[in-house]
Amino acid sequence: MPDVITLITDFGMADEYIGVMKGVIVSIAPAVRIIDLSHNINRHAVQEAALVLGAAYHYFPMGTVHVAVVDPGVGSDRKIILLRAGGHLFIAPDNGLLTFMLADNTFEAAYEVANSDLFLKPTSNTFHGRDIMAPVAARLAVGLDVQAVGPAVDKAALFRLTLPPVTINRQLGTVTGAVIGVDRFGNLLTNIHVDDLGAVTGPAGPDQLIVTVREIVCGRLHNFYGAVAAGSPVALIGSRNYLEIGVNRGNAAKMLAAAPGDAVIVARVTGGAAG
């Protein structure tokens, strides 16, 4: 069974940067499987990449090495980190890309990628994805021990993004969060998890919840986009298990003029503790 390396970057697909990283990897690990998570992350959008990585990694086999290169600080003194969490390995600059893997209880160990014997030579100051992260990922995929990459790092020392809060008010029966992303279809991705909604769902079930974005009422929770008329907004639990707001056969971000940062409120229809 070949090992797997995933790649997520903000490099785009027009230049040779991704291909070159793969060339470096297969030169070291000829049988490894390489899967692209996304290379169209917006430039320097660390939070966007962190969200994608956090949503995607657990669909891959245990032992997969995930390489994330959104790296505005390349060449500065920011560290490169190898994180072992949840049975997966992650290699990324210490700039918040690993926030979601640090937020749950799956942490196992972290190391600074510092052993220059593992790097491509000469090692540039501008492309650590190619010269450091790709060769280290490849060596890990073919059996290098994680401790060989460099000294252990304390979990508390690792950089985490500050994310918008999710507030649950059981008495009012409300959950308040935010839009944190927009996908290709214009669907609004929020930071409200299906479990957050469970805390305010009455005995009548989740279809008694009303969703509001930017003070625009988007109606009750549904099960799929086509449950409302074409052109109407529809709130549902998306494929990431978080609340999403879409428009059936339309673009919610445009129609609701919504963007990351906008407030999202979910409220129980029949207020009160007995609701």
Q: How far is the CB of 126 from a second copy (least distance, A)?
A: 5
Q: Considering beta carbons, is residue 156 or 184 the nearer one to a second copy?
A: 184
Q: Considering beta carbons, is residue 176 or 190 the nearer one to a second copy?
A: 190
Of 155, 170, 249, 254, which lies in the binding site for a second copy, with binding defined by CB under 8 A? 249
Asked whether 56 and 169 are in contact (CB, 8 A), the reply is: no
d(CA 112, CA 266): 41
Of 137, 218, 221, 236, which lies in the binding site for a second copy, with binding defined by CB under 8 A? 236
Q: How far is the CB of 74 from a second copy (least distance, A)?
A: 6
Identify the burial level of 239 via C-beta atoms within 10 angstroms of its C-beta, where 0-12 means exposed, 13-18 middle and 19 or more buried: exposed
Query: Tokens 């995930």, residue?
Result: 66
Q: Confirm or reject binding of residue 223 to a second copy (CB under 8 A).
A: yes
211 by DSSP, 3-state: which?
Answer: strand
d(CA 262, CA 34): 36
Of 184, 205, 229, 273, which lies in the binding site for a second copy, with binding defined by CB under 8 A? 184
Only one of the segments 136-144, 155-163, 167-175, 237-245 lies at the binding site for a second copy (rule: CB under 8 A); that segment is 237-245
Q: Confirm or reject binding of residue 43 to a second copy (CB under 8 A).
A: yes
Binding mask 8-27 for a second copy (x = CB under 8 A): x--xxxxxxxxxx-xxx-xx
- Count residues binding a second copy (CB under 8 A): 65
Q: Is the dihedral of CA 137, 139, 144, 150 positive or negative?
A: negative
Q: Confirm or reject binding of residue 55 to a second copy (CB under 8 A).
A: yes
Q: Confirm or reject binding of residue 183 to a second copy (CB under 8 A).
A: yes
Asked whether 57 and 66 are in contact (CB, 8 A), the reply is: yes
Site for a second copy in 115-154 (CB under 8 A): 124-127, 130-131
d(CA 190, CA 266): 11
For the beta carbon of residue 60, count every other beta carbon within 10 angstroms.
Answer: 17
Binding mask 58-87 for a second copy (x = CB under 8 A): -xxx--x-------xxxxx-----------
Q: Are strands 216-222 and 233-237 parallel, antiparallel or unpaired?
A: parallel
266 by DSSP, 3-state: which?
Answer: strand
Q: How far is the CB of 125 from a second copy (least distance, A)?
A: 4
Chain positions contacting a second copy, by CB under 8 A: 1-2, 4, 6, 8, 11-20, 22-24, 26-27, 30-31, 33, 35-41, 43-44, 52-53, 55-56, 59-61, 64, 72-76, 124-127, 130-131, 183-185, 223-227, 236-239, 244, 249
